[in-house]
Chains A and B, each alone.
Chain A
Amino acid sequence: IAGITQAPTSQILAAGRRMTLRCTQDMRHNAMYWYRQDLGLGLRLIHYSNTAGTTGKGEVPDGYSVSRANTDDFPLTLASAVPSQTSVYFCASSDSTGGSTDTQYFGPGTRLTVL
């Protein structure tokens, strides 16, 4: 069982380019999340999905979009990357039926640099 996988591991991107970060989980969790982590700021939620077919905005959604066509996959797209989107991006999933089942499990992260 792989848990959650993310691709790519790292990427250097020119400003203005489009980029999709991939996330796949094999735990059949209903909820999935995208975070960015910047030094000193902790984890900030970008977008989330409580179940396949639905998505919601988190704390910092601007410049990002997501889709949830099925249970396993939750890609994050940067339509036109800007240097302020340089960060480490983590995908997470949870069973999300309340209480301790809301424990989130994280993928290994994607380190993105926008020049």
Chain B
Amino acid sequence: GQNIDQPTEMTATEGAIVQINCTYQTSGFNGLFWYQQHAGEAPTFLSYNVLDGLEEKGRFSSFLSRSKGYSYLLLKELQMKDSASYLCAVLDSNYQLIWGAGTKLIIKP
């Protein structure tokens, strides 16, 4: 079966750095997405990786290793507004998105 694993919850301090990991086992791979979802709101797109390596977008970076079935989302200079759930999703060989259950990130002052 297809599987995406992420930690259920993480806690970090304002101003710090946090890394959210995602491992996947899917039938084929056509890219990996990270989404942010604030409580009570819709998911919003953060990043897309299809090649190995690091993609940087301001305070957020996303890394992919296809050989290891592994990705992480790195958030720097954490702000209180970064408190949210972070969803990892993989586009499989049928171009269907397979979603992880999400990681709830709690930021403490």
Contacts and interface: CB of A to CB of B under 8 A. Distances in A.
14 contacts: A42-B101, A42-B102, A43-B87, A43-B89, A45-B96, A90-B42, A90-B43, A99-B30, A99-B50, A103-B48, A104-B45, A105-B45, A106-B42, A109-B41
A42 B44 contact: no
Name B's interface SS: loop
Interface residues of A, number: 21
B87 to A, nearest CB: 7
A43 B91 CA distance: 14
B45 A103 contact: yes
A102 B31 CA distance: 9
Interface in A65-115: 90, 96, 98-100, 102-109
Interface in B63-109: 87, 89, 91, 95-97, 99-102
Interface string B22-36: 000000001101000
Range class of the B interface residue count:
20 to 34
A104 B31 CA distance: 13
Contacts of A99: 30-31, 48, 50
A58 B102 CA distance: 19
Interface of B: 8, 30-31, 33, 41-45, 48, 50, 87, 89, 91, 95-97, 99-102
Interface of A: 40-45, 48, 58, 90, 96, 98-100, 102-109
Contact of B97 (A41, A102, A107, A109): A102
A90 B43 CA distance: 9
The CB with the most chain B CB atoms within 10 A, among A48, A106, A108, is that of A106
B35 to A, nearest CB: 8
Nearest to B101: A42
